[in-house]
Structure 1
Amino acid sequence: MNFAIDQISIMGVQNDLVELEGIIAYQMEKGWPDPNLVTTELGDVLDGLAIGVTIGEYAGTIFTN
């Protein structure tokens, strides 16, 4: 697996997690005016993780049962 691709995948998920944390904090502070933003960002996190797993399986660096 290419180190650069690994880093791009990790950074993408990390950025999505940071955004999710910020959205949750904002929603909590403001009384949850738009909770769907949390759901949307969580979907982005899950998509990023799924892509990372797929790339890892393809490269042989992640094994799933």
Structure 2
Amino acid sequence: MHILVAEDNKVVQKLLGPMLNNYGCTYSIVSTGQQALDYLANLCPGSRPDVIIMDVRFTV
């Protein structure tokens, strides 16, 4: 399972990475809403993340 983490808090980013590894997940981390949109727009067809974890108060 591949997870996109969209989170601007560096502490949360550092905590989520090892946690996701422990569950056998691969992941990509972006720090802004615009980076998340760019990441999704530049993916090859059929390679979307299975899950997106995003900060509730995230803006573009």
Answer whether TM exceeds 0.5 for this pair: no
- Bigger Rg, which one: 1
Greater strand share, structure number: 2
Greater helix share, structure number: 1
**Higher relative contact order at CA 8 Å, sep ≥6: structure 1 or structure 2?**
2
TM-score by length of 2: 0.31
TM-score by length of 1: 0.30
